Amino acid sequence: MKTTTIDRYIESHIDESVAELSRLCAQPSVAAQNLGIQACAEKVAESLKARGFAVQILPTGGSPVVFAERAGKGDATLIVYDHYDVQPPEPLELWDSPPFEPTVRAGRLYARGVADNKGNFTSRLHAIDAILAADGELPCNIKFVVEGEEEIGSVNLEPFVKENKDLLAGDVCVWEVGGVDHQNAPVQMVGLRGICYVELRVRTANRDVHSGTGGSIFPNAAWRLVWALNTLKDQDENILLPGFYDDVIPPTPREKELLAQLPDMVAYYREEFGLTGFLKDIEDPLELAIQAVYQPTCTICGLTAGYQGKGSKTVLPAEASAKVDFRLVPDQTPKQVLAQLRAHLDAHGFEDVEIVDLGGNPGAKTDPDHPAVRLAVRAAEDVYDQPSRINPMIGGSGPNYIFQEYLGVPIISSGAGDSDSRVHAPNESISLDLYEKAAKHFARIVLLMGEY
Amino acid sequence: MKTTTIDRYIESHIDESVAELSRLCAQPSVAAQNLGIQACAEKVAESLKARGFAVQILPTGGSPVVFAERAGKGDATLIVYDHYDVQPPEPLELWDSPPFEPTVRAGRLYARGVADNKGNFTSRLHAIDAILAADGELPCNIKFVVEGEEEIGSVNLEPFVKENKDLLAGDVCVWEVGGVDHQNAPVQMVGLRGICYVELRVRTANRDVHSGTGGSIFPNAAWRLVWALNTLKDQDENILLPGFYDDVIPPTPREKELLAQLPDMVAYYREEFGLTGFLKDIEDPLELAIQAVYQPTCTICGLTAGYQGKGSKTVLPAEASAKVDFRLVPDQTPKQVLAQLRAHLDAHGFEDVEIVDLGGNPGAKTDPDHPAVRLAVRAAEDVYDQPSRINPMIGGSGPNYIFQEYLGVPIISSGAGDSDSRVHAPNESISLDLYEKAAKHFARIVLLMGEY
């Protein structure tokens, strides 16, 4: 490994890479709001072309996928899965600098999407620049699959990957997320939960009504919604859809062993998020770690009805809606959950509650002892101060099952994220120091893939 | 009665009055948002001064009260209760013309507050102009009490009236609302429900969290709110606060008799609001009329939590809130309801749900056979095509109990409202024809007060 030369390049050209990242973050690309998607895909394609990749912007039913490949010396192929779309930036008033005006403060770069996952994408480009500068060619084949709908449940990715199995084929896949935990240890995240995201909508009249006129005699959309939601989960956190837990697989002994090696999050979470306690009154660190990711969820992500301004307005809402995500664990599927949800609402007299499917995918996991995971751990050894930790399953979601199902590849992690990244929230950011480390880690993964 | 001269004046000067009304409606005055209150109070004061009234803008703890008086020939004093504040105009996108840009379309004037209640106020000024033009002086004393917080529960009116009992003293009070029903019959509304308006707020963390991270282990403010709301009212419309129904007085036989004389609203409501049915499956017109106003309510007027934009955002909300109004019937009081609500939430484990008191007042009613009511009915006789109907209690609320409690006056109605007025909703409007009729009716009330 010519890591000295490569590291020197990464360090001395870091400003150019951060500038490229800033340009990419300045381009809004909110899939949920269909904002800036095509423009962002084109910027991603240009960046890959500049590194000598053969780039195609491939249509899907929604946002296009940017696919890029460049052959290397060895036979092995590294697939890089990234996404150029970002979460909506709202609530805007909670940002200290505008979400699409990347700003450096105290060694961190702030922007919507900088951590999730534009920073990881450009850190990988930066590593490739360093390798090409040192060697003129890549040690392995690299394929980029950069989609534009990850933040809305990768709604078109599965048919895309299925139809392009041969084009996308490879040996190992580097996932979009990665980085260090709150103790600055690098983490291999080898499992992701699935998700089923829905909007529940109720309409009870053709317009809002004066609450004095209708309060006693007209149906109220907000009440219908509250009652319907209340049937979904009880106050002990039991999700009440029939059959919901049937396909839940508990953690294996090896997974529990790995979870036990992860840091105790109890005090950290309490302090970081100002919590007075955890659901189910859990206090034990391992129990909390298991509960956090091996249990499915039913989370109300948003509620909307009637008057939401200052003070009072005496109105009876004709419409009400809730955004709800179900985080799924293997072997649950979104399709099952949608069917269970419809059946449940109907059985409780809520035929009037419309379910709008906003996308989803099942969860999946890679064997934590797979050689590719060991490779990724080894690649981190001389980059970070601490050895890698292996997290068998994280709480978030992503379309990893698609890559495992159709391409049969193990999934490894790299990236610039840390516990201050505020992913999906206002003031999303990355540490510039960790950005450099992410590039170095990815460069080593690529080098090791030359011998894979 | 010199009604011919007066009517001719009202008809020939109607454009000037509508122009004055339009100027008043162009001045936003949203108490809930503290928008334009002082400016609107000054406009109201100027209009009254222009009619020779002695005007005072009197401070309260909130919006000032415009008080104006002018002596007349007779001894009797007519109190006119109006308000210059209006409901918030939101949702703005549902207005066909901007809410604060009064616009005439097909014989109707559209603007926020035009029906509730700026149009009634200026129609009364117009009637006074006509009387003064005909006679040079008023037949009775008139006192205007124009407050600026009616739409937020008249939160400061009670101490104001209590402290100014002598200043405000009178014999009969004309209420701010009035007009015709959906069959164009004029209505005397002699009872109003009370109201207790609250915002329920929950906070579970110091910021929103990625739903993948927190969904299984962190408390969710939106779920707390849903569960708390669910305990307030069951799906059979029973409000579950302990003791809530204890002070509810059912309608008297005379009130039922009057309700039975009112038009059947069943088909009208269904069609007008696109309803598939009524609460409790009521189909009988009298039963619906009784249920509509002689039962208290618990109405969710608004719900807010987390992400409410397009598409999906996987966020676990740290805050959630609901606007809730309780319509009260005699002898319920807001103070009792606030105490019951706190006790109820605490008893159900919702000590974390904060109650913000957004104002309220008890309901009250005038004897439907009071001489003042007969006077108002008689005053309508040759103005409208149909005889007046007497509605013993309407669904809406207002501070009528304050006038009854401290001034001991009966309350009568006049005004330009009709069933298309969309009070509190987008596209609020009045018919210009009914505006003229309202002025004529009020002029006759004033004339009859000369003999009261």
Residue B72 contacts residue B137 (beta carbons within 8 Å): yes
Cβ contact B279–A314 (<8 Å) = no
pLDDT tens for A402-415 read: 999 999 999 999 99
- Determine, yes or no, domain membership for A287: no
Cα separation of B329 and A194, whole Å?
51
Whichever domain contains B18, its CATH number is: 3.40.630.10
How many Cβ pairs closer than 8 A exist between chain A and B? 325
Which of B127, B181, B332, B154 is CA-nearest to residue B247?
B332
Quote the pLDDT of residue A52: 98
User: Of B304, B327, B361, which residue sits at a domain end?
Assistant: B361
- Determine, yes or no, domain membership for A341: yes
Query: Closest to A300 (Cβ–Cβ): which among B220, B302, B359?
Result: B220
Can you give the residue range of the structural domain that contains A335? 208-248+295-361
3-state secondary structure at position A365? strand
pLDDT tens for A105-142 read: 999 999 999 999 999 999 999 999 999 999 999 999 99
User: Which residue in chain B has the smallest CA separation from A233?
Assistant: B223
Region of B259 please: left (phi>0), alpha (psi -120 to 50) or beta: alpha
Cα separation of B307 and B313, whole Å?
6
Structure tokens at A233: 């989960």
In this model, does residue A281 exceed pLDDT 90?
A: yes
Percent of residues, chain A, with pLDDT higher than 70? 100
A96/A227 same-domain check: no
B118: which DSSP letter?
I
How does DSSP assign A66-127, residue by residue? EEEEE--SSS-EEEEEEE--B-----GGG-SS-TTS-EEETTEEE-TTIIIIIHHHHHHHHH
Residue B200 parent element (H or E)? strand B191-203
Cα separation of A216 and A206, whole Å?
18
User: Of A309, A330, A361, which residue sits at a domain end?
Assistant: A361
In this model, does residue A424 exceed pLDDT 90?
A: no
Q: Which of B299, B329, B358 would you mutate first to test chain A, the one with the most A CBs within 10 A?
A: B299
Overall average pLDDT of the B380-399 stretch: 94
Residue A239 contacts residue A232 (beta carbons within 8 Å): yes
B317 contacts in chain A (CB < 8 Å)? 300-303
Contacts of B374 (CB under 8 A, 6+ apart): none
B207: which DSSP letter?
S
Which of A302, A298, A301 is CA-nearest to residue A337?
A298
- Determine, yes or no, domain membership for B271: no
Cα separation of B36 and A308, whole Å?
20
Structure tokens at B366: 């005038």
A112 contacts in chain B (CB < 8 Å)? none
Is the ipTM reported for this complex over the cut 0.85? yes
Quote the pLDDT of residue B425: 86
3-state secondary structure at position B177? coil
Cα separation of A370 and A408, whole Å?
13
Cα separation of B188 and B177, whole Å?
10
B230 contacts in chain A (CB < 8 Å)? 226-227, 230
Pairing state between β B411-413 and B172-175: parallel
- Determine, yes or no, domain membership for A253: no
If one counts the domains in chain B, the total is: 2
- Determine, yes or no, domain membership for A196: no
A42/A135 same-domain check: yes
Residue B224 contacts residue B353 (beta carbons within 8 Å): yes
A169/A222 same-domain check: no
The more confident residue out of B312 and A178 is A178
Overall average pLDDT of the A160-180 stretch: 97
A51/A135 same-domain check: yes
A1 — pLDDT class (breaks 50, 70, 90): low
pLDDT tens for A20-44 read: 999 999 999 999 999 999 999 999 9
- Determine, yes or no, domain membership for A223: yes
B186/B199 same-domain check: no
Whichever domain contains A336, its CATH number is: 3.30.70.360
In this model, does residue B316 exceed pLDDT 70?
A: yes
Cα separation of A105 and A116, whole Å?
18
Q: Report the gap between the CA of A153 and the closest CA in chain B (Å).
A: 8
User: Of A318, A342, A361, which residue sits at a domain end?
Assistant: A361
B150/B174 same-domain check: yes
In this model, does residue B98 exceed pLDDT 60?
A: yes
Q: Report the gap between the CA of A326 and the closest CA in chain B (Å).
A: 9
User: Which residue in chain A has the smallest CA separation from B350?
Assistant: A235
A347/A440 same-domain check: no
B101/B199 same-domain check: no
- Determine, yes or no, domain membership for A415: yes
Cβ contact A303–B305 (<8 Å) = yes
B216/B90 same-domain check: no
A425 — pLDDT class (breaks 50, 70, 90): confident
A177/A212 same-domain check: no
Q: What are φ and ψ of residue A124, in 5° steps?
A: -70, -40
A409/A443 same-domain check: yes
Quote the pLDDT of residue B1: 53
Structure tokens at A449: 């893939």
Residues 153-172 of B with CB under 8 A from A: 153
pLDDT tens for B260-287 read: 999 999 999 999 999 999 999 999 999 9
- Determine, yes or no, domain membership for B416: yes
Chain B interface includes A361 (CB < 8 A): no
A77/A24 same-domain check: yes
At B420, the amino acid letter reads D
